[in-house]
Amino acid sequence: MRRFTVYDSLSRSTREFAPIHPPRVGLYVCGLTPYAPAHVGHGRTFVFFDVVARALRRWGYRVFYVQNVTNLDDKLIARGGEEGIDPLALADRHFLGYLASMERLGVRSVNYYPFATDYVPEILEQVRVLLDRGFAYVAADGSVYYEVAKFAGYGRLSGQKVEALRAGARVEVDPRKRSPEDFVLWKAATPGEPSWESPWGPGRPGWHIEDTAMTVRLLGDRYDLHGAAVDLIFPHHEAEIAQAEAATGRAPLVNYWMHGGLLLFDREKMSKSLGNVISLDEAIDSFGPGPLRLFYLNAQYRGPLDFHPDRTLAEAREAYARLAVGIERIDDLLERDGPERPGAEPPEALARDAQELVERLDRTLTDDFNTREAIALLFGWTRRIAEHLSQLETYSGAGLEELAAPYRWAEEVLGLFARERGSRAGAWGSIVPVAIAARARARARGDYAEADRIRDELRRAGVELEDGAGDTRWKAVGGA
C-alpha cells in the first residue's frame, strides 16, 4: 500500500492516511437528492471522489465506496407535488438519469448506492437509542428532535459556536423545538406524504439521520473517509457527528473528512433558485466526457472553480485536444496495426522517462490528491512526445506502449482518454439491472407511463426487454 496524505477538515491539517483495518478503506460520499437532474456542479464532486477511489485501489487499498441516495425529503415531496408524481418515483427517475450521466463520465467506482427509504429500520433504531441516551426528545406532534446542547462537540467541524449560531439564527421560531439549532431526526407525517409507523406515530426520516443509520450499518461505528462538497459541512456533517458519536458512544465517527470546493457559475454559486443551472448531461453533451473531466481535475480540489459560460467550454476543449495529441497518435497506430506492430525501439532515455514519470504521477497524487500538478506533468509529457511525433510511426507496438504509460496512468486514475464512452444511449445500456428494477417499481404502483419511458430509453440504448412470468429478461439488439 502506497502512503499518502490527505487534508482533514476536522483537524484543519494535512495528515498521513492510516486505515482502521488495512488494507480495507471505508469511503462514504454524500450522494444526490434526485429531485431534478444532476447539474454540472455535482459532476465536480463526484468526478473528484471517483479519482480518490481509483487512486486508492491502484495503491493497493481495498476500497468499499458507499454513496447514499436521499430518495425522500422536503424537496422531493414539493417537486413531486408540482409535477403530479409520487416523490419516490421522481427520485427513481432522476437517480437513473444520474447513473447514466456517471456512466458517460466514466464514474464506475461506487460499490453501493443505498436508498434512504430502504434503511428505515436502522433509522428508527438510531433515533430510539438517541432518545434512550438523552440526546433527543419527542415534540408534541410526534416529531423527534436532536438536542444540540447535549452534545459537547457540536460545532467543532464547522468551527461554529452554538451560542453564535443561536444568536445569529434567523430561523422562524418553531414551537416544537427546545432551541432553534435543534434538528429533526424523525418528522411527524403530513397527510398525503409517504410515511412509516414508528413508536412516536407515523412519520418519515429527517435528512441527517439517514447518513449515520446507513454508515453505522454498512461501514461500522467508525470509518476512514467521508467526502462531500464543502457546502454540506454545516449543518449536515456536524449533525452526522453528533448523531453517530452520541448513539454509538464511539469517536471519531470519521478519521478523515474531505471537502471539495464548489463549482461557481461566473463567480456565483450555482443554484436552482438563481436559475443558472446547467445540467450534467448538457455539459457532457457540449464538452465531451474527457474535456469535462479535465476541466474539473485541472484545479485544486478544495478551492472554488469558476465555470464561465462563454470561456470554459472553449478552453477545456482546446486544452484537452492539446493534451491528447500524443496518446491519440499512439492509439491510432496501435488500433491500425495492432499491439504487435513491428518497428524500432524508442530512444532509451525517452522510454525510461516515461517509466519515471508514472512514479512521479503517483507521488504527486499522494500529496492530498494534487490532480492539478499531475495534469501539469502530463502536459509536459505531451510536449516531449510532440517532439517525436513524426518518429512514432517507426516504433514497435511494445515501444509505443512504453511511451503511452503516463497516459495509461491518466486513464486508470484520472479517467482521461478512454475512447469508447460518452453516448447517452450506451450509458443506459450499462445500467440495465437498475433500470429494470426501477421499471418494476413503476409497474407495481400502476405508473405504466413511467415504465414505458424506461423501456423506451433502454431500447434507444440497444436493449430490448422481454417480460416473462415473474421476471424480465433482456437482450442486446444494437441501439440508436
Residues that bind Zn ion (CB under 5 A): 30, 211
Q: Please, what is the minimum distance in Å from the beta carbon of residue 236 to Zn ion?
A: 6
Query: Nearer Cβ to Zn ion, position 95 or 381?
Result: 95
Shorter beta-carbon distance to Zn ion: residue 31 or 203: 31
Residue 398's Cβ-side half-sphere holds a number of Cα atoms within 13 Å equal to 6
Is the CB of 207 or the CB of 417 nearer to Zn ion? 207
CB of 136 to Zn ion, least distance (A): 19
For Zn ion, the closer of residues 177 and 226 by Cβ is 226
Cell digits of residue 93: 427517475
Whether the CB-CB separation of 16 and 77 falls below 8 Å is answered with: no
- Minimum CB distance to Zn ion smaller for 69 or for 350: 69
Q: How far is the CB of 97 from Zn ion (least distance, A)?
A: 20
Rounded Cα–Cα distance for residues 401 and 330 (Å): 8
Give the residue with the Cβ less far from Zn ion, 30 or 454: 30
> Cβ of residue 30: shortest distance to Zn ion, in angstroms?
3
Closest CB to Zn ion among 30 and 392? 30
Phi-psi group of 412: left, alpha or beta (phi > 0 → left; psi -120 to 50 → alpha; rest → beta) = alpha
Between 30 and 350, whose beta carbon lies closer to Zn ion?
30
Beta carbon of residue 46, minimum distance to Zn ion (angstroms, whole number): 13
Count CA within 13 A, CB hemisphere, residue 294. 27
The residues facing 228 across adjacent strands are 259
Q: Minimum distance between the CB of residue 240 and Zn ion, rounded to whole angstroms?
A: 7
Give the burial string for 300-309 (b: 16+ CB within 10 Å, else e): ebeeebebee
| Cβ closest to Zn ion, residue 36 vs residue 333 | 36
User: Nearest to Zn ion by Cβ — which residue?
Assistant: 30
- Closer of 205 and 406 to Zn ion (Cβ): 205
Q: Shortest gap between Cβ of 254 and Zn ion (angstroms)?
A: 12
Q: How far apart are the C-alpha atoms of 88 and 246, rounded to whole Å?
A: 30
The 62-67 sheet, strands edge to edge: 62-67, 24-29, 223-229, 254-260
Q: How far is the CB of 377 from Zn ion (least distance, A)?
A: 34
Phi-psi region of 37 (alpha: psi -120 to 50; beta: other; left: phi over 0): beta
Termini Cα distance of the chain: 44
Cβ of residue 52: shortest distance to Zn ion, in angstroms? 17
User: At closest approach, how far in Å is the CB of 228 from Zn ion?
Assistant: 6
